[in-house]
Homo-oligomer: A and B are copies of this chain.
């Protein structure tokens, strides 16, 4: 009988040597924590809802956009190229969790929206997702979590400046 292989990408920090630089250790630790949590979340989404993180992400974007979003807007928000959004939307539409509706102002465009079932399912997922996260984080004190949120906020701001737009002058817009 076949062996069941099971593996989860989790602790990349094993590749840090003992005398590595502080920033490198920080990065590997950051990555390790993220992978540990992400693995759990992915498995939860798959086991409980047969869905994936990008699908969850797309639905999350729509959940906060009553009037729906155009494909290009989804693409930008998810930071993913247009073709991918088409693919994910196709799947979700086939499962009747989202619909494409014609955009009244631009006949090239659609507005993608959650269906009622889609919204219902997303809310359920999101609530459970939050419970997972809360549980995963509960080894930290409230104060420690606050500190982390704060420090990561600083880091994120710094990173955004460095990474956001390699060439903002290139305002080609949309799907890019």
Interface string of A79-99 (1 = CB under 8 A from B): 111111000000000000000
Rounded to whole Å, the gap between the CB of A57 and the closest CB of chain B is 6
Report the copy number of this chain in the oligomer.
2
Q: Tell me whether chain A's interface is mostly helix, strand or loop, or mixed.
A: helix
Rounded to whole Å, the gap between the CB of A83 and the closest CB of chain B is 7
Q: Is the CB of A139 within 8 A of B152?
A: no
Q: Is the CB of B75 within 8 A of A7?
A: yes
Residue of B nearest to A167 (CB): B6
Q: Is the CB of A21 within 8 A of B130?
A: yes
Rounded to whole Å, the gap between the CB of A137 and the closest CB of chain B is 4
Q: Is the CB of A31 within 8 A of B22?
A: no
